Chains A and B, each alone.
Chain A
C-alpha cells in the first residue's frame, strides 16, 4: 500500500511538473466549454432578413411585424423590387428574404391564393432549414389567428412544444458533449501517453524487473488521471450550471457516479492503447484519430446520429461517448433516475470490462 501511494505521488510529480500536461488537463476543459458555449452555437437569434412587400397592406405588415417581434429575425430593410434580392444575399449578411405577392390581403380574404415566398441563403443549409421552418410556423400562427372561429373543423393543428430545452439552447447540448470529449482526452490520451512515456525512457523495464506487480504499476499510473478526470467532469458541470444556467433536474451524485464510470471506461481504453503503441507519438496519434475524431463525429454531440446512414449509426454504438452523452442529457435535462439509464450504464460497464480484459491479455502475451 505504501509502495502504491509512493507510486501515485510520483505520478502527480510528473503531471504537475509538465506545463503542457497541465495546460491540457486544466486549460482545455475551461476553454472548450467557453468556446462551445458562447462561440459555436446553432441557435437562431436576430437573423437578418429583408422583406419585399408587393402588396404593402395591413395583413403583410402584420405578418412582418410578427416575424420581427418573435426575436428570431431582425428586419434589415425593405426592398423595392425583385432585382434587389440577388444583391441583398450577395453580401452574406442577409439570411432570408420574405416576398409577399401582390394583392395579398384581398386574396386571403377571398379564401385562396395569398402568396408569400421565403427565400433562404442555403449556403448554410442548417440555418436555412431552421429559419424557413420558424418563419413558416409564425405565418401559420398568424393565419390561424385570423381564421379564428371560422376555422374548418377538419384541419390539423400542429402544436409545438420544445420540451426539456424550451429555448433551444445549443449549450445544453454541448456541455454533455464537451464533457465526453474532455474526459476522453484526459483519460484515454493522457494515460496512454503517460504509460508509453515510461516505455520510451526505459523506466518501464526497470519497474517490470522490480518486485512490483504489473497491475500495481498500471493502477498506480492510472489513479491520478482517474482523480483528475472526475475533477474535470465536476468543473465542466459547474461551469454549465453557473455560467450557462443549465439545470440539473436529476441527481448530481448519480451524474458524478456516471462520470466516474465513463472515466474508468476511457482509462481502460487508454491502457489498451498503451499496450499497442510503443512511443508517445504513436499513442497520441492513436488517441487523436482513433478516439477523438469518432467521438466528435459519431457521438451525436455535433451531428445527430439519427440522420446518419445505417452503417454509421451502427458504428456509433461502439463509441463510449455516445452512451455517456445520452446518460448525461437524461440526468441533467430530463431528471432521469438510474432506472432510466441502466442500459446505457451497462453498456459502458461492459466496454470497460472488455478493454481491461484485452489489455491484460495483450500484456500477458508480451511476457510469455
Chain B
C-alpha cells in the first residue's frame, strides 16, 4: 500500500469567509489509484474544500499539494492534471456526442490529431459509435453519465474529482457508474468522490467525514464501522453528525 505514492496532501488547509470558517484546518493524504470518499452533511464544508483542491478557490491558510503541485502557487499546473465532473454531468445537451468529446479534449489543450484519436477511441470504447452524431439531450441518463465521466478523463489526469456524480440517478445506473470508477482506479487514476449515498461510501477504499468544517473521521469503511460500533455507514454518519 505504501509504495503507491501520495497524490493529494493537505496540512491545516483552511478557508475563511469573513468571520465564518468554512474549512477548519483539514489535513489528509490520498494515495495514487485510491478511491477516496469525501463525505459530510450539506454545509459541512466539503464543497469549499473541493473547490480549493481543484484550484477554483484560493485557500486562506495551510498547505495543499495536488498531483505534485502547490494549489497556492501552481494552480494552473494543478488544473492541467486533474479531471472534474459535477453532479449535473456538465455536457452540452445541444451538442452531439462527438462535438462534446472534441470540445472538452480541446479545452485541455490536446492537439488536433490527439483529439481525433482520443475522441474516436472514447466513443468506440463506450459503444456510442451509433449515436455519435446524436445530440446529448437524446441519450439515456446512464449513457450521459458514462460519457461525462469518460470526458472528464480524456486528458489522462492523475486525479479525477467527482462532485456528487450520482445525484438523482437510479440505483442500477449508479451501480454501473461505480464499475467505471473501479476501472479508472485500476488504471491508476485517483478518484476523489463526494456523495450523499452511504451505500456508495462503502465502495470507497477510505472515507473522510466532515462535520462543521473539520474532518471528524478518516479511515476505511470497515474500520469506521468498528470504531463507532455501527452496522453500516449510515449509522456511522448519523452518530458523527449528531454528536456535534
A residues at B contact (CB < 8 Å): 2-3, 6-7, 10, 13-14, 17-18, 201-203, 205-212, 367-368
Contacts and interface: CB of A to CB of B under 8 A. Distances in A.
A209 B55 contact: yes
Contact of B58 (A10, A14, A206, A367): A367
Contacts of A14: 92, 94-95
Contacts of A201: 88, 90, 92-93
Contact of B106 (A3, A208, A368): A3
Interface stretch (B28-36, B79-87, B120-128, B232-240): B79-87
B165 to A, nearest CB: 11
B92 A203 contact: yes
Nearest to B163: A205
B106 A202 contact: no
A13 B107 contact: no
A208 B56 contact: yes
Contact of B56 (A7, A202, A203, A209): A209
A6 B119 CA distance: 15
B57 A211 contact: no
Given A14-B92, A202-B88, A207 B107 contact: yes
A301 B244 CA distance: 62
A6 B82 CA distance: 21
Contacts of A210: 79, 84, 104, 107-108
Residue from A7, A201, A206 with most neighbouring chain B CB atoms (10 Å)? A206
B194 interface: no
Chain A, interface SS category: helix
Given A201-B88, A209-B84, A211-B109, 8 more contacts: A10-B92, A17-B94, A202-B88, A205-B84, A206-B84, A210-B107, A210-B108, A367-B56
B120 to A, nearest CB: 17
B195 interface: no
Contacts of A17: 94, 135
B76 interface: yes
B79 A367 contact: no
Nearest to A205: B86
Residue from A18, A211, A212 with most neighbouring chain B CB atoms (10 Å)? A211
A337 B126 CA distance: 62
Interface string B53-68: 0111110000000000
B219 interface: no
A209 B94 contact: no
Contact of B87 (A6, A13, A202, A203): A202
B79 A211 contact: yes
A2 B56 contact: no
B79 to A, nearest CB: 5
Nearest to A207: B107
Contacts of B89: 202
A201 to B, nearest CB: 6
Contacts of A368: 57-58
Contacts of A18: 94
Given A6-B106, A367-B58, A368-B58, A209 B92 contact: no
A10 B99 contact: yes
B226 to A, nearest CB: 36
B108 A211 contact: yes
B149 to A, nearest CB: 12
Contacts of B56: 205, 208-209, 367
B103 interface: yes
A368 B55 CA distance: 10
A2 B102 CA distance: 13
Residue from B54, B79, B80, B106 with most neighbouring chain A CB atoms (10 Å)? B106
Contacts of A206: 84-86, 90, 104, 152
Contacts of B112: 2
B90 A367 contact: no
